[in-house]
Amino acid sequence: MQARMDPVGAVRRLVPPERLTSRVTALDDAFVIAHFGLAAPEPRRPVVVNGLVDRAVELTPDDVRALPQRRVESVHECFGNPLAPGEWVRRAANLVWTGPRLRDVLDLAGIGEDATTLWARGADHGEFGGSSAPDYLKDLPLDDVLDRALVAHRCNDEPLHTHRGGPLRLVVPGYFGTNSVKWLTELTLADHRPEHLFTTRLYLRPGPHGGSVPVRELDVTSVVVGVDGGVARGWAWSSVPVTRVAVTVDGRPVRVELEPARGRAWQGFRAVVGSGRTITARATDATGRTQPTSGARNAVHELQL
């Protein structure tokens, strides 16, 4: 499938849910998003660790590969167009990432006691939605991502290709993909949030107590990927384990088998639907969040046969 330019300039490779039949998504079936277009290939691009650290360090991809490695399977999901944050989207994959923990990378510089926030900077730059930026920048709560995030150099056991953010990218399982900064150039420890197009102007959503908050933790979501022999199959995920998936066939509820949670990977479900023509799935997670029936980016998925 070829990448294309969308109206706001982002490179997008779109894959319908019906292609997501494998537990680990094939790279050819995993979406590609690049707000400014793809960054120039630089296989030796280093990452600088600076800010509230004991000493600034510059790490090559070889330095990162020499650290203790972790292999993590997790859902990778696009939040959607930040210019239309409520728009229905179905862009997700379940991928296997390899790299050292963020903590192990930052420990090489020494984490300052006043550091509360991580700034992750990427090499891509340009214009998005009528605004320009010299780079891509996201900020993340340090305590929440220290042991969760990886500085990844492999995806599905292959070297991380340039169009997926190689040679190094941040990966934050359980967070939307906008936080997994591609073409990583800098990790800065700070005690405050930065002012940037992609931190305080885009990728915001209404907060629980008013105002706006950054887009971070995944929403509860499910998709039906197909029906074979009268059995519907699909995937469900959230930032926490999914505890229930309700499936209907032509408006009639049916019994569902849901796999137990496996870290932050998606969970499979199946339901006998016979010869039904309209299949819907609606997930609920361990915090009690349930997919909206309509009018939201994670609204209930419907498969018409």
C-alpha distances in Å from residue 156, one per residue of 168, 199, 223: 14, 29, 22
For the whole model, what pTM was predicted?
0.93
170 and 232 share one domain? no
Look at residues 186, 214, 242 and tell me which one is the last residue of a structural domain: 214
Any idea what the CATH number is for the domain that residue 230 is in? 2.60.40.650
Q: What's the pLDDT score for residue 9?
A: 40
94 and 196 share one domain? yes
72 and 25 in contact (C-beta within 8 Å)?
no
253 and 246 in contact (C-beta within 8 Å)?
yes
154 and 244 share one domain? no
Instruction: Retrieve residue 3's tokens.
Output: 């990448």
107 and 226 share one domain? no
115 and 190 in contact (C-beta within 8 Å)?
yes
Look at residues 179, 214, 249 and tell me which one is the last residue of a structural domain: 214
200 and 225 share one domain? no
Highest mean pLDDT of the ranges 55-59, 87-91, 196-200, 292-296: 55-59
Q: Enumerate the β-bridge partners of residue 151.
A: 170
Look at residues 214, 235, 263 and tell me which one is the last residue of a structural domain: 214
Tell me the per-residue pLDDT of 123-174, one tens digit each, with 9 for 90 and over: 999 888 888 899 999 999 999 999 999 999 999 999 999 999 999 999 999 9
Any idea what the CATH number is for the domain that residue 21 is in? 3.90.420.10
Place of tokens 């990728």: 203
Number of domains in the chain: 2
Tell me the per-residue pLDDT of 17-64, one tens digit each, with 9 for 90 and over: 888 999 999 999 998 888 888 888 899 999 999 999 999 999 999 999
Answer whether residue 10 shows pLDDT above 80: no
Domain that holds residue 183: 4-214
83 and 52 share one domain? yes
Which pLDDT band holds residue 2 (cuts at 50, 70, 90)?
A: very low
282 and 139 share one domain? no
Reference 47, options 121, 111, 136; nearest CA is 121
Rounded Cα distance, 294 and 213, in Å? 22
Answer whether residue 273 shows pLDDT above 70: yes
Rounded Cα distance, 22 and 36, in Å? 30
Highest mean pLDDT of the ranges 9-23, 85-99, 246-260: 246-260
190 and 242 share one domain? no
Q: What's the pLDDT score for residue 256?
A: 98
289 and 147 share one domain? no
11 and 38 in contact (C-beta within 8 Å)?
yes
Tell me the per-residue pLDDT of 170-212, one tens digit each, with 9 for 90 and over: 999 999 999 999 999 999 999 999 999 999 999 999 888 888 9
Q: Which residue has the higher pLDDT, 186 or 14?
A: 186
Rounded Cα distance, 79 and 89, in Å? 8
Which pLDDT band holds residue 14 (cuts at 50, 70, 90)?
A: low
